[in-house]
Amino acid sequence: MTQEQLLQMIADKEERAYTHMYNMYSKSLFAVISNMIKDRDEAEDVLQETFVKIWKNIASYNESKGRFYTWILNVARNTAIDKMRSKGFNNSRKNLSSDNFVHLLEDGSRMNSRIDAIGLREFVKKLKPKCIEIINLLFFQGYTQQEASDELGIPLGTVKTQNRNCINDLRTYLQV
Amino acid sequence: MDVNEYIESGILELYVYGLLTEQENLEISKLAQENEVIATEILSIEKAVLQLSSSFSPFLSAENFEKIKAKLELKHGKVIPIQRKSGSSALIGWAASLLFLLGAGYFYFNWKQTSEQLIVTGNDKTKLEETVVDLEIRNKSTETALDVVRDENNTVVALAGQAVAPQSSAKVYWNKQSNTVYVDATGLPEPPEGKVYQVWALKLTPLTPTSIGLLEGFQNNGSRFFSVENAAGAEAFGITLEPAGGSKSPTLEQLYTLGKV
């Protein structure tokens, strides 16, 4: 199914659009949310809220704004940040855990896709620590280039290219 | 614009991550419509991060799927009014749906079992691998023992049971060329708690015992095969039972086995 077909189905509020969307994106969104929110129940709440928001606001999305995945990714991150604020963290960024997404692997019994994860675990071991950090900040936590440059202590101009190199390593491994 | 240079700048990754301004997003989505290479690149980046993040997701129970579904306003397909023609077609309908339900239940059950089986099989595999490693280690130690026993340069000294334990025995393999000494202690009873066997090299005139080692970890050494220190000039070997840690000189009342070279 292309993105266009899926969007049409969501706009029509078709049940199978939801099923498709859930199968395709829920794990990715839940990983991003869980990386920001440690408490499992709260992370599940945020995932639910995210889906409800996507469903309600689908009319406000159009493709000139970016990819659909990008849009829902932002909805998930923002919903997670709102949740943290409501829990009394005024500056959500500063209160984010210092862990990166790799910690999600530590509790193996909770993994969704054990088999994928075994291969990825090996791969992530090979991935440079700098790459894990940079992907964690930019992709998982939605840091701007400037924020990532400050956090990592690398020049603003190299944030983009370093991230590109890291994603290229990942793509070589995944063959995409 | 050089498309390659543009792609290599890394801006498309940030586009997929959702980190650009509205203006930049507009530009790139326009570019993607005009340029196939850029459009494909964007799709590949999206695939990569989607797969990466999905693989890091903690377990999501089926309950979540249902909970969310209940909160969305969903159409369950179009409702088509059915004209009832006769009782029999309704009956067939009910029968068909019953069959379908049974079938669905059956497949669900099968699927569930298969996925549980998969996890069990995975665990079994890990256990088997551990066993294999374990066996390899044991095999290695057995091979070492065999090599020692088979070596033609060995002087084999049989130690016979003494007054305190007439049934016990032991063998010393003394390789004078490589200057190594091994003790086969299969003929000795397990030492009592807090005690340890000590091996002595003896010179007979005058009688001078030299400790050449303890048989430590006796219970855990399945092959009861121990390497001890070199015994240059030994004329006999003896094994005594000593307090844990060993003694400076042998406790002769606890002499278990003795043998002359």
Short-list A5, A12, A83, CA closest to B73: A12
Residue B134 has pLDDT above 80, yes or no: no
pLDDT, position B239: 95
ipTM given for this complex: 0.89
What pLDDT, on the 0 to 100 scale, is given for residue A91? 47
Residues 55-94 of A with CB under 8 A from B: 55, 63-67, 69-71, 73-74, 77
Q: Do B175 and B252 lie in a common domain?
A: yes
What pLDDT is attached to residue A82? 92
What average pLDDT does range B177-195 have in this prediction?
88
CATH number assigned to the domain comprising residue B166: 2.60.40
Nearest neighbour of A51 by CB, restricted to B10, B16, B72: B72
Tens place of pLDDT per residue across chain A (176 aa): 777 888 888 888 888 888 889 999 999 999 999 999 988 899 999 999 999 999 889 888 988 889 999 999 999 999 999 998 887 765 445 445 556 777 776 654 455 444 455 566 677 777 888 999 999 999 999 999 999 999 999 999 899 999 999 999 999 988 88
A13: region left, alpha or beta (phi > 0 left; psi from -120 to 50 alpha): left
User: Are B242 and B180 contained in the same domain?
Assistant: yes
Query: Is the confidence at residue B46, as pLDDT, over 70?
Result: yes
Average pLDDT over chain B, rounded to an integer: 85
Cβ contact A64–B29 (<8 Å):
yes
Whether A70 and B15 lie within 8 Å, measured CB to CB = yes
- A12-16, A69-73, B4-8, B67-71: segment of lowest average pLDDT: A12-16
Residue in A48, A139, A174 nearest the CB of B17:
A139
Strand partners of residue B160: B169, B258
pLDDT computed for residue A168 by the predictor: 95
B164 and B99 part of one domain: no
Q: What percent of chain B has pLDDT over 70?
A: 93
Identify the burial level of B86 via C-beta atoms within 10 angstroms of its C-beta, where 0-12 means exposed, 13-18 middle and 19 or more buried. Answer: exposed
Q: Residue B124 domain-assigned? A: no
* 3-state class (DSSP) for residue A144: coil
Q: Is the peptide bond before B81 cis (omega within 30 degrees of 0)?
A: no
A128 touches chain B (CB under 8 A): no
Looking at the domain assignment, is residue B79 inside a domain? yes
CA dihedral A48, A52, A58, A63 (to 10 degrees): -10
Q: Which of B10-14, B102-106, B201-205, B252-256 has the highest mean pLDDT?
A: B10-14
Domain end point (choices B90, B109, B128): B109
Total tally of structural domains belonging to chain B? 2
DSSP B34-74: H-HHHHHHHHHHHHHHHHHHHHTPBP--HHHHHHHHHHS--
CA B48 – CA A173 distance, rounded (Å): 9
Contacts of A27 in chain B (CB under 8 A): 53-55, 57, 60
CB contact under 8 A, A174 and B48: yes
Domain annotation covers residue B149: no
Give the residues across from B174 on adjacent strands: B155, B181
pLDDT value at residue B50: 94
Residues in A touching B8 (Cβ below 8 Å): 161, 164
Return the number of other C-beta atoms located less than 10 Å from residue A83's C-beta. 20
Residue B13 lies in a domain: yes
DSSP B142-184: HHHHHHHHH-TTEEEEEEEE-TT-TT-EEEEEEETTTTEEEEE
Distance CA A47, CA A40 (A): 11
* Model-wide pTM > 0.90: no
Residues 6+ apart with CB under 8 A from A69: A25, A28, B16, B46, B50
Chain B, nearest residue to A113 by Cα: B55
Instruction: Tell me, yes or no, whether B169 and B251 share the same domain.
Output: yes
Q: What is the mean pLDDT of residues B147-172?
A: 86
Is B103 inside a domain boundary? yes
Q: Please tell me the predicted confidence (pLDDT) of residue A94.
A: 47
Residue B205 pLDDT more than 90? no
Mapped onto helix, strand or coil, the DSSP state of residue B231 is coil
Highest-confidence range of A96-100, A102-106, B8-12, B137-141, by mean pLDDT? B8-12
- Winning range, highest mean pLDDT, from A109-113, B176-180, B182-186: B182-186
Interface mutation target, options A144, A174, A175, chain B, most CBs of B under 10 Å: A174
Q: Tell if the CB–CB gap between A163 and B75 is shorter than 8 Å.
A: no
Asked if residue B143 is part of any domain, the answer here is no
Contact check, Cβ <8 Å, A66/B30: no
List the single best residue of A45, A58, A73, A125 to mutate versus B (max B Cβ within 10 A).
A73
Instruction: Pick from A64-78, B83-97, B226-240 the range whose average pLDDT is largest.
Output: A64-78
Could you tell me if B200 and B240 are in contact, meaning their C-beta atoms sit under 8 angstroms apart? yes
Domain span including residue B218 = 154-260
